[in-house]
Every structure is written in structure tokens, then in C-alpha cells.
Structure 1
């Protein structure tokens, strides 16, 4: 594609009907023309000159008179400004048209927004809602995606930014390849970055900044789902293995509390005694709302979490139920506990929530609908990723089915 810039100047002469009488000195307006490839744009310079002082081939005034020198100086200034705007737009977007350069020269703001500018606006809006209905951890994910987009644009297209109109399927597939192959991200991490870009595209579409959804036809490589729940045996070993450090014992108790309530790290950290409700039958419940989504959840406290709460009551400040360390401290300690317990999995705190869904609830016959409500999920499909169906659950279900079917069907020994 030819993107070479050509700038020329010429006189805009009057038509025969409008031409002044012969012999009268007439100053004609000087018009500029910008040519970039197949795109052409004309603009008024607000300069005038008599035809006898104008050199058509050079597009300048002839002679060394004060009028000619000043006129040529103004034309050269315009020429330099146009070349400067041309370079700026080309460096920023990778492409440039004559109309874009003309608008920039004349100070006309273009209505076309760029990808990174929109992404920045989206991040700022998200940041303003942190602590209200957005989490700081998610904001870090947006910043990471922004960084990847910046690096990708410089490496692939040699530009700082691109217009939103260039956000199309080839761009998305190239960004996908960059994240998976060149950055070496795992499928789950890659998908997270693509989701943030998809959100930006959705905003652009709703604001009429683009005319059609750019993700149409895009099929990402789905990450392989791994079981993130402890098995029954692993959970028993995690609870019962002796630990000789009080700090590790405390962190283990917090993990077990989460494994028997399904509460997340963020919600555990802000859990207060006001959110522990006593019902008429004497049972205690956690009744709170998810920090991540604001969705309310209610979980009845079983014997094990009740014992843990009683054990550490009064240790936390203010009205908090527990004094919860940072997530980094917790996850590092879990890996040490796993070694003591002979658990080969790489433990992370979120496994407690998965273990609650799979081992504590689903395997014991609790319906997935109830599990979804207790976890505070918006969609039961999210719960299905948490609730791993194991052989024990299948065996129990089939045993109950066998009892229900007993005597309902009669199959003769010899069926001829």
C-alpha cells in the first residue's frame, strides 16, 4: 500500500463569469492539496497572490519582493506542519489518509477512537468502582492485558496504537497467537486476556465506535479443565496430619473452615460476627454477600467450622471473625503443609472452595442447585466447574436408584 505524502499548492482562479475586468489586479486564493496513495484532500490556506507573481510548477511565489518572501515563508510553514502531522499519525496508527492529515492540520478532532485509549477509559472506570462492586485483583488483570496489547502493537504492527476500526478477526487471531506462542501463556491465562479485549470490543460496539462485532468467527482454544478439589483421602490427611508450627496450624484451620463453608478468600477476610446469624432452631449460619459479585449467600455452619470459630474467637481486631494473612502468605504456607501431608498437588487457597462443592456437598448428596446458592454463583454453569463428580458420588446415586427401582420392573429369567 502506497502511503507516500505529496503536498502541492495552486491558485484557485475565478470562473469566466466571475472574472474581474481586464487589466485589474486580481489576487487569487491559494489552495493546498494533500495526496497520500489514492486519498486526496484539499484545504484553504487563507493566503492570496496575484497571478503574475505565482510560479505554477514550484507552487510558490516568484521574485525577492517582501510580499513574495513572506508568502513563501507561510506556505513553507504549512508544508512543515502537514508533514509533522503525517508522521505523527503514521507512527501512531500504522496507516494514514489525506483526510486525517488535513483534519489534524486544521485542528479538527477526529471522532475515531483508538484501541488503547478506549482500554484506558475502561480501566479508569473499573478503578473508580474498586471497593464498591469491583475487586482490586481484577484491575491488575486489566493492567496486564493493556501491557500485552502495547507490546503486541509495537512488535507486530510497529505502532503505538490502532484505530478501533482495525480491531478485526485477523488482529484478534494474531493477538491470540502472540499470547499463546510468543508469550508462552497457558490457555487459562490467555483466555483471561482475550476476555478483557472482548469487553473493550463490546463497549466500542455499544457506543457505535465500530459497526460490527470483531469477535465473530473467533474460536479460542479452550483450556483443559483440571480437578481443583482435594480428594476425600487428601482432605482427611490435610485435616489430621500433625503439624509442629502454630502458624501452619492456624492457616490449615482457615483452609478447613473454607472447605466446610465454601467461603472465598476475599469474603473470609471481611467476615464479621454480624454476618453469623442464629436461627430459631439454634443453628448458626453465615449470611453475607460476595465481595466479587454482590450476590448474597447463606451457609449453615457445620460442627467443624463452629469448632474453628470458637477456637480463635477474640483473636481478630474489631468485629472480624478471623485475622487473615495475605493471599501470598497463605498459598506459600499451603505448599509447605502439602509436603507434610504427602499431598502431591500444588495447593492454592481456591481449592478449599472446590473441595466444599465436591467433597463436602455434592458427594454427600447435596443438590447442585443448593451448592450454587451457598457459593453465591450467578450461573449454575459456574458451579458445575466447581462440583467434580467422583466415583463415590456416582456409586451413592446408583445405590439410591437401585433401591427406588426395586420391585418396579420384572425381567423373566427366560425371555423367549
Structure 2
């Protein structure tokens, strides 16, 4: 039997005869092995009803009118069914009956279409409440959701009111297997996907939050940074090619300031200010969090600022992040560093090797990095502190052993 086929049948209930000896006619809709019945408000004499022909056999005008009404009911149900098919989304027998009855059904508000409306609303807040890069990340998530629905259900969209735990589990599995995303990236996608869905719940499109019981797998956060020895090796090496020398300098600059690429690229002389201690500081807003960060200008940073001092408003020469990361691979190979380093490695090196390994407290590290809260710093750099403690314990053991 074709489970997707719609079946419409009219049935009578002989057990419910009224005082006139007539029994009610009900309409029974079957779709995907699920059945729904409703009253047609029509009555017929049991002997005049043909279940096989689905007709009232009596030819008087009243009964012929009943046949016309039954035919009209059948046509309207088929129209509702065809309408739902054209929408190219999942639907069930309840949706067919609701559409036939002209009831507003939640399925008309779908996941992708709602997400796109959310994006449109957020787009108007760019450079007011959110950054363009943040909006772009949510757009990527919307595209992932759309491609998953197409892959899994062979549809363009999926009903919001049918979003459940299984959908999220399947979506997460899809991101790992089909998109080859690591757990940390998957968790970010799910986290961003939750925002518009929570809004949909508050607006009544869903009866419950499907994310309530969803627990993403814990991602292994491995912080890649240069050791003290590797940092010194990189600082002392002289590169014959000017492009490599420049990229090395930009990288070293961020190893001692912790600036992310965007802050480094947009660092202007106006961001170099005299601090409360009489020394020069960098004061700039983080692109990611819009938080004002203040970083002391260490001697090695001062040397690089003076080296590239020019009539330009910018402190350092302009260089794309893509080219920096490309050349850093070449630099690492030349110097003999086996780690896979990117520009962001410099920020990690600042937090780990320059600060934490020199006993700078975690709360100060968090402030210098411009993290929105301490939990982020502890989550990423907690193991670095443990390694630092372990290193000190080894030194202590050697000291006590020699005494």
C-alpha cells in the first residue's frame, strides 16, 4: 500500500440512528497510515447508502443534494492536500484536515523561512547592535540548516512545529559526517541555530524548546602556542625575503600584545596612549566583543612600532590575514617549528608563554585579551596554568633533591 496516498471515505454509523431512522455520515481521511474522522453534518437512511459507490442511492432531490455536498467535501479535501504538496514541506493527516477546515496551522511557519526572516531583522542591526562578521556567521548556519533539510528530507523546508530532539541529533550528525566539521565548530553552529528557534518558541510557533534536552558533546580545546624557546628562535632568525621578514614582525608584534588580526590591521597611532603609569599603552575596541582593551606596550613591541613608523595613520603595514597564514607555514618550516601556526597562534602565545608562564594572574590575562568573561579564559587556558604549575613543581623537586 502506498503510505503517501490520500484516502477519502464516507462511512455511516448505524448504531447512531436518530428518531427519523437516519444515521450520520462521517468523513474518514487516511494518510501515511494515520486516520482522522469528522462529521459531515449529513444524515441518510441506512438502506439508501452504498459504501461501495460512496453514494446515496435514493434519487429524490434531497438525497441527490447530499451526494453533491459529499462530492464538494471530497474536492475541498483534495484541494487542501494538493496545496500542502505544493508547499514542498512535510505534513500529516492533521495538517490536511486543518487546511480543509481553514484553520491556521503552524506548519506554514517553517525553519528556513523563519531563519531568513530572523536574518533580515538582524541585518538592519549591523553596526548598531551586531558586527557584520557576526551576522555572516548566522547566515552560514542558515545555509547549513537548509542543506541538511534538503539532504535528509528532500524538501526545501521543514515545519517549525515539528522541530524536535531527533532533528537536532540528525543535524549534528550531518555536520560531522557530510560537512566534516569538528565538534567545536558543530557546537558553535548549534549554539547559533538556537537563537532564532528560541525566538520562535516565544512567538508561539513551537510549543516547547527542542534544545532543552540537547546536550552537545564536549569539544577538546587544544591551545596551540609557541614555547619560550620557539619564540626566541623565531625572533632571532633573519629572513632574506622582505615579505617573510614583515610577516614575522607582525606575528611577533601580536605575540607581545595579544591583538587579534582585525585589531592589529586597524591599529592606528591614535590608539597609542599614555597610561596612568606614564608608559605607553594600546587602547582599542575588540571587533568581536566591542570591549575596550588596554595593553601595555612592552619593549619589543616598541621596537617594532618604531621600525615601521611612517606618515600613515596606521601603526603597521597592511597585510591580508590569508597571506599572513600562508607565509607563516613557510616561516615555520624555515625556522624548524613543527606546529601548525596561524596569526591567531600569536594571541595564544601572548596569553600562555608571555603572560601565564610568567605568573601573570588569570584575571589580568582575561582583561588583556578582552574576553567577555573569565570563564572563557579559564576554559581555554586552564590546562596552560596546570602545565605551569607542573613545571614549577619539577623545578622545586630538583631544588629539594639537590639540597
Preserved CA contact (<8 Å) 1:277 1:287: yes
Please give the TM-score of this superposition, normalised by the length of structure 2. Answer: 0.77
TM-superposition CA deviations, 1:241-295 (whole Å, max 9, x none)? 1111212222221111111111111222222222221135431111222111112
Which stretch of the first structure deviates more once superposed, 260-269 or 203-212? Answer: 203-212
* TM-score normalised according to structure 1 size: 0.75
Q: Deviations over 1:202-235 (max 9, x none)?
A: 3333333323332333333322222311111111
Tell me which residue corresponds to 2:6: 5
Residue of 80, 84, 87 corresponding to 2:85: 87
Name whichever of 209-218 and 385-394 sits farther off.
385-394
Q: For residue 363 of structure 2, what is the aligned residue in structure 1?
A: 369
- Name 1:97's counterpart in structure 2: 93
The residue aligned with 2:44 is none
Aligned match of 2:180 = 184
SS in structure 1 of the partner of residue 194 of structure 2 = helix
For residues 80-139 of structure 1, what are the alpha-carbon distances to aligned partners after superposition, in whole Å with 9 as ceiling and x for unaligned?
Answer: 6334214235x312x3234x3355467665344222122223333343333344344444
SS of the residue aligned with 1:92? Answer: coil
Query: What are the Cα deviations for residues 176-209 of structure 1, in whole angstroms up to 9, with x where unaligned?
Result: 2222234332222222222222333333333333
Q: Counterpart of 1:21?
A: none
CA contact under 8 A between 1:85 and 1:105: conserved in structure 2?
Answer: no
1:315-363 CA-partner distances (Å, limit 9, x unpaired): 64xx332343222111111111111211111111111111111011111
- For 2:329, the equivalent position in structure 1 comes to 335
Q: Does 1:39 align with 2:36?
A: yes
> 2:77 touches 2:97 (CA, 8 Å); kept in 1?
no
> What's the secondary structure of 1:38's corresponding residue?
strand
How far apart are the structure 2 equivalents of 1:142 and 1:158? 23
Displacement after TM superposition at 1:164 (Å): 2.1
Q: Which runs of 5+ in 2 are unaligned?
A: 12-17, 21-25, 42-48, 60-64
Task: Output the CA distance in 1 between the equivalents of 2:28 and 2:7.
Answer: 8
1:207 corresponds, among 199, 203, 206, to 203
Q: Equivalences for 1:234-249 in 2 at 5 Å?
A: 234-249=230-245
Is 2:355 the partner of 1:358? no
Alignment of 1:103-252 (within 5 A): 104=99, 109-112=104-107, 113-252=109-248
Contact 1:362 1:393 in 2 (8 A): no
Distance 1:6 1:340 in 2: 73
Q: In the superposition, relative to structure 1, how do residues 105 and 245 fare at CA in structure 2: closer, same or farther (>3 Å)?
A: farther
Q: How does 1:279-358 map to 2 (within 5 A)?
A: 279=275, 281-314=277-310, 316=312, 319-358=313-352
Across the aligned residues of Structure 1 and Structure 2, the Cα RMSD in angstroms comes to 4.0
Distance 1:40 1:3, change over 3 A: farther
Offset of 1:42 from its aligned partner? 7.0
Q: Distance in 2 between matches of 1:349 and 1:61?
A: 84
Unaligned runs of 5+ in 1: 18-30, 45-54, 407-416
